[in-house]
């Protein structure tokens, strides 16, 4: 499973490079936190982290979605993944955008029917909100598992993004469920590799090296 950093904050991105993340994923909340004009914020982030850049649409009607996606493409080029919440309007826009060579991530998905329909509709990516599904009594990892199985067994091209990752357990569950990508905030990344035993080993090996005859 590859990792998308869910941030465009410069400090987060610089730190995320050490973890070898594979791209960036955003929503309007993430972009607003940077407090820069969006084109500048997106362009600056794209210079730090390579790979796909999932940028969230805010328009909710077909023509508006298409126009905004084209504007996003003028900034990010072929790195752009057009991210938009699943709806009748976004499904209509997706057909046009894919015909124009743009890839689409249908997001806001919290249920198995939503995930199945998005896959069958031909989305390039779908983002399943694990944490948000759990918050309302759902089964986030169950949705990821069902979607991953459907995509694999049905020969669909759709890649599954486990989003709204809240911690290590979500990351493990998403990996075991067969997700292709994990959308992680920066604060989760250190937790994935840290362990008291490892920290103690680092200190111990350094102390033992001091005893080695040089």
What is the domain-level CATH number for residue 117?
3.20.20.70
pLDDT of 213 reads 87
Q: Is the pLDDT of residue 124 over 90?
A: yes
Number of structural domains, the chain?
A: 1
* Residue 109 confidence (pLDDT): 96
Cα(25)–Cα(52) distance, rounded to whole angstroms?
A: 8
Helices (H), ranges, 1-105? 10-18, 28-34, 38-48, 62-76, 88-99
| Model pLDDT, residue 134 | 87
pLDDT in tens, 129-165: 998 888 888 899 999 999 999 999 999 999 999 999 9
pLDDT for 214: 83
Residue numbers of the domain that contains 206: 2-211
Residue 112 confidence (pLDDT): 96
Catalytic one of 17, 83, 157, 200: 83
Give the C-alpha separation, 117 to 141, whole Å.
Answer: 18
Looking at residue 143, its pLDDT comes to: 97
Q: For 67-103, what is each residue's pLDDT tens digit?
A: 999 999 999 999 999 999 999 999 999 999 999 999 9
Residue 157 falls in the annotated catalytic set? no
């Amino acid at each position: 499973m590859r990792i998308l950093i869910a941030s465009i904050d410069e400090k987060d991105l610089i730190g995320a490079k050490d973890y070898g993340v594979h791209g960036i994923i955003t929503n309007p909340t993430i972009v607003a936190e940077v407090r820069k004009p969006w084109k500048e914020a997106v362009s600056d982030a794209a210079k730090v982290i390579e790979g796909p850049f999932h940028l969230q649409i805010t328009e909710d009607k077909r023509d508006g979605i298409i126009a905004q996606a084209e504007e996003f493409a003028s900034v990010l080029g072929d790195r752009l993944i057009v991210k938009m919440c699943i709806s009748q309007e976004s499904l209509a826009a997706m057909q046009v955008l894919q015909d124009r060579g743009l890839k689409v991530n249908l997001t806001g998905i919290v249920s198995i029917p939503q995930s199945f329909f998005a896959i069958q509709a031909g989305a390039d990516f779908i983002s399943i909100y694990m944490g948000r599904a759990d918050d309302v009594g759902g089964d986030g990892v169950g949705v990821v598992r069902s979607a991953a199985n459907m995509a694999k067994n049905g020969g669909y091209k759709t890649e599954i993004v486990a989003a709204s990752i809240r911690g290590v357990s979500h990351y493990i569950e998403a990996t075991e469920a067969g997700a292709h990508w994990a959308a992680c905030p920066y604060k989760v990344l250190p937790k994935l590799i840290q362990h008291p035993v490892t920290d103690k080993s680092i200190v111990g090996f350094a102390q033992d090296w001091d005893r080695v005859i040089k």
